[in-house]
Structure 1
Amino acid sequence: MEEKTPVLLEKLYRLYRQRVNPVGKTYMFVDEIQHIRGWEQWIETYRESGEVKFIVTGSSSKLSSKELGTLLTGRHIDLTLLPFSFPDFVRSKGIEVSSLSIELKSDLIKNLLFSYLDSGGFPEILFNSPKENGTKILEAYFDDIIYRDIVERWNIRDALLTKRIALYALKNSGNLLSYRKIQKALEQTSGKTSTSTISENMSHLSEAYILFEVELHTNSVKKALINPRKVYSVDTGLRKAVVKPLTDDYGRDGENIVFLELLRRGYKVTFWKTDKTEVDFVASGRTGDLVINVTMSNLDDPALRERELRGLLEFEGDRSRRILLNSDIEDTLKIHDKTIELIPLWKWLLIEDFLPRR
């Protein structure tokens, strides 16, 4: 078998030029680029000539986005591909995503939202697998990420501890978590560990895109670093498959998919909290902040409604757009010279006017 070096890339490229497109600029797609030793020097040669534009993909088990940035400093744009979004999910069912279409089919759309919260957005689960096999496939994805992309890649000795950290973090999705809290919880069943070990493993889990850590919204770098963070899963279906919650918590799941959608739209996402109130997400963009709370509970409950609105009202910021995402109410409230938009989650996810790209 021919060794996978830039010589192989050069042969393929020359063959393409000779047989298909001898002149002019071309585009070259290379998947699993990490298997070609020294690929970055070869790509740089053609990049400087302007002859070729490259789109390369690679596995995080061999090449992290940070390392890719080091190899191609100032010469690349990173694109993170997440599992299918809810609009992707709806389109996969043959439904047009437009304001008129979703209004006419609102009951069906609401039903699909709960299906999406349960199954998540991995294409294999949505298109190819019988429903009963979905959990097994998602469990296999989880194990592959833990053992191949993290344990094998970083030569971690205690693979079981890494897996337990991941499970504990995913179980507490949307909750405030500190490394000290994770340490204390795991030491009850896994023996002695340290916050530095927890921190290192959480970093690996984030880099492998199994979870995301969200920092406190503050102007102080120190406060952001030392305060507990929130954790969200890359996919609600994956989380349910491995955590196996005893009851459905669609409020938690809804919060998770809102976070992922904000990432897809290019926002920098933090959360805001005081001793008395909090905001689930502060999504920072060029024209101001989106300040968002998410609930799937009944807003007819006065105590719940007051709690969800309080954080949005107390958050400071003149350019902030304040939004309460909920199961089905659409309204606009004027309270103490502040405007709060109540938007159904299913509609917010589907209509881009509600969530412009950053």
Structure 2
Amino acid sequence: MNAKIIRQQYLDQLALSKDQNVIKVVTGVRRSGKSTLLGLFQDTLREQGIADSQIQSFNFEEEKNVELRDWRKLHHRIEQKLVPDKMNYIFLDEVQKVAQFEEVADSLFVKPNVDLYITGSNAFLLSGELSTLLTGRYISIHVLPFSFSEFVQVFPEEHNNDRLFEKYLTSSSFPEAINLAKIDDKLANNYLRNIYDTVVNKDIAERYQIRGRIDFDRVVKFVFDSIGSPLSARNISNFFKLNNDNIFHGTIKNYLDYLTKSYLVYPVSRYDIKGRRLLTTNDKYYVVDLGLRNILLGSTPGSDVGHRLENVVFLELLRRNEGEIFIGKNEDCEVDFMVQMVGGERIYYQVSYQVNDQPKTLARELAPFYKIRDNYPKFLLTMDLVPEQFDGIKKVNVVDWLLNQ
């Protein structure tokens, strides 16, 4: 029996916005757990005394709801079942499958007794007409695959967190992929391949009518293989030219945009710390799931461990949502991550697999910190077990950091 993981971070965000006059938009890559999250929140509502008659939930990937992909029929069905003089909680899951769904959202939003929740598997949900329609009227909650703290809960029989982290670092964090891998790795691998094919075929290729699928797949593999490395459409194009493959840099720029909007990858811009300006070239990209990367590249899970660790840290920073994430550039050095918080404060992070008994590696990782002339917190995250401090710079075990210990 699969363990039921309570995704408290996301439930807390939904609870805070409950009954507020904003539409709750839950986004995230396919199979990251958005539908399960809505189900958990509906259970919470029932525990609070909300009657089933006040909750309407529709998943538009289910066969029984195909007819309701017509927005007029959907609107009529919801209207018929609204309970007067009580708050009604409406959940529209994978709503991008409903043509002109923004008409339904607009109509329901203006009703004082409707609290509306919608989910979608790509950023197009918040682009175009809906973005204009919802300006100032929605909050976005972005769902990622399991964090390490959630991953640990799936294996209650394993008490060695370091051993679990090695597994987390080399496998998938998609909820169902983790459960399938417990049975057979081949099942999990097939599942991950299906996720990738669905995202590429349905969310990208069909929408943009991509004809050069071979070129597209080459670009995707290149990006997945280059996590944590500076990339631009032009330098990717130049790489392919060296191998006698001509892919126009404008086409590559579009491909990068499609990958970002489908939540397969996340770009991180570079920020000039000394010059206090955003740099517009050579973003770094991180993948939504390392298991997905294994499948696409056919790579050995234990390889490229430094960039894998960096990818895990980036996704955790994204989950914590403490501020905007940048790559910090300072003169000829770079800090792996700089989190710029709303109040103007910052936190800096360097990520290195190990530095103990490696004085050259330690010096290299600390060097960017010493060039930063401010007193904001600075962390060096490593797999080393013993915490240390170097002139106020804290070296912290990354497993402890991920578990908030």
- TM surpasses 0.5: yes
Equivalence for 1:196: 250
Distance 1:48 1:162, change over 3 A: same
- 1:1-358 alignment runs, 5 A limit: 2=67, 4-17=69-82, 21-60=83-122, 63-67=124-128, 68-94=130-156, 105=159, 108-129=160-181, 130-189=184-243, 191-218=245-272, 224-225=279-280, 227-246=281-300, 248-266=303-321, 267-274=323-330, 276-287=332-343, 288-318=345-375, 320-335=376-391, 339-351=392-404
- Give the partner amino acid of 2:352: T
The count of aligned residue pairs is 333
Please give the secondary structure, in 1, of the residue aligned with 2:378: strand
- Give the partner amino acid of 1:65: L
Please give the secondary structure, in 2, of the residue aligned with 1:269: strand
- Give the partner amino acid of 2:94: E
The answer to whether the 8 A contact 1:147-1:159 is kept is: no
- Alpha-carbon separation, structure 1, partners of 2:374 and 2:277: 21
The answer to whether the 8 A contact 1:60-1:149 is kept is: yes
Please give the secondary structure, in 2, of the residue aligned with 1:300: coil
Please give the secondary structure, in 1, of the residue aligned with 2:247: coil
Measured after TM superposition, the shift of residue 11 of structure 1 is: 3.6
Measured after TM superposition, the shift of residue 204 of structure 1 is: 0.9
The answer to whether the 8 A contact 2:108-2:116 is kept is: no
Q: Deviations over 1:25-54 (max 9, x none)?
A: 121101122233333223322322321011
Please give the secondary structure, in 1, of the residue aligned with 2:217: helix
The answer to whether the 8 A contact 1:292-1:312 is kept is: no
- Alpha-carbon separation, structure 1, partners of 2:69 and 2:256: 33
- Alpha-carbon separation, structure 1, partners of 2:140 and 2:349: 27
Overall identity of the aligned pairs, in %: 27
Measured after TM superposition, the shift of residue 22 of structure 1 is: 4.4
The answer to whether the 8 A contact 1:333-1:341 is kept is: yes
The answer to whether the 8 A contact 1:47-1:53 is kept is: yes
- Alpha-carbon separation, structure 2, partners of 1:229 and 1:4: 38
- Alpha-carbon separation, structure 2, partners of 1:293 and 1:2: 51
Using the TM superposition, name which of 244-253 and 293-302 deviates more: 244-253
- Alpha-carbon separation, structure 2, partners of 1:3 and 1:173: 40
Segments of 5+ residues of structure 2 without an aligned counterpart are 1-65
Measured after TM superposition, the shift of residue 201 of structure 1 is: 0.9
Measured after TM superposition, the shift of residue 223 of structure 1 is: 5.5
- Alpha-carbon separation, structure 2, partners of 1:37 and 1:178: 34
Q: Deviations over 1:199-224 (max 9, x none)?
A: 11111111111111111113779861
The answer to whether the 8 A contact 2:269-2:327 is kept is: yes
TM-score relative to the length of structure 1: 0.85
- Alpha-carbon separation, structure 2, partners of 1:35 and 1:171: 32
Distance 1:24 1:251, change over 3 A: same
- Alpha-carbon separation, structure 2, partners of 1:328 and 1:16: 58
Measured after TM superposition, the shift of residue 250 of structure 1 is: 2.0
Measured after TM superposition, the shift of residue 190 of structure 1 is: 6.3
The answer to whether the 8 A contact 2:387-2:397 is kept is: no
The answer to whether the 8 A contact 1:283-1:289 is kept is: yes
- Alpha-carbon separation, structure 2, partners of 1:187 and 1:222: 32
Please give the secondary structure, in 2, of the residue aligned with 1:242: helix
The answer to whether the 8 A contact 1:119-1:125 is kept is: no
Please give the secondary structure, in 1, of the residue aligned with 2:292: helix
Measured after TM superposition, the shift of residue 160 of structure 1 is: 1.5
TM-score relative to the length of structure 2: 0.76
CA RMSD across the alignment? 2.4
- Give the partner amino acid of 2:220: A
- Alpha-carbon separation, structure 2, partners of 1:75 and 1:83: 27
- Alpha-carbon separation, structure 2, partners of 1:24 and 1:212: 41
Using the TM superposition, name which of 1-10 and 149-158 deviates more: 1-10
- Alpha-carbon separation, structure 2, partners of 1:30 and 1:245: 38
- Alpha-carbon separation, structure 1, partners of 2:399 and 2:370: 23
Measured after TM superposition, the shift of residue 282 of structure 1 is: 0.4
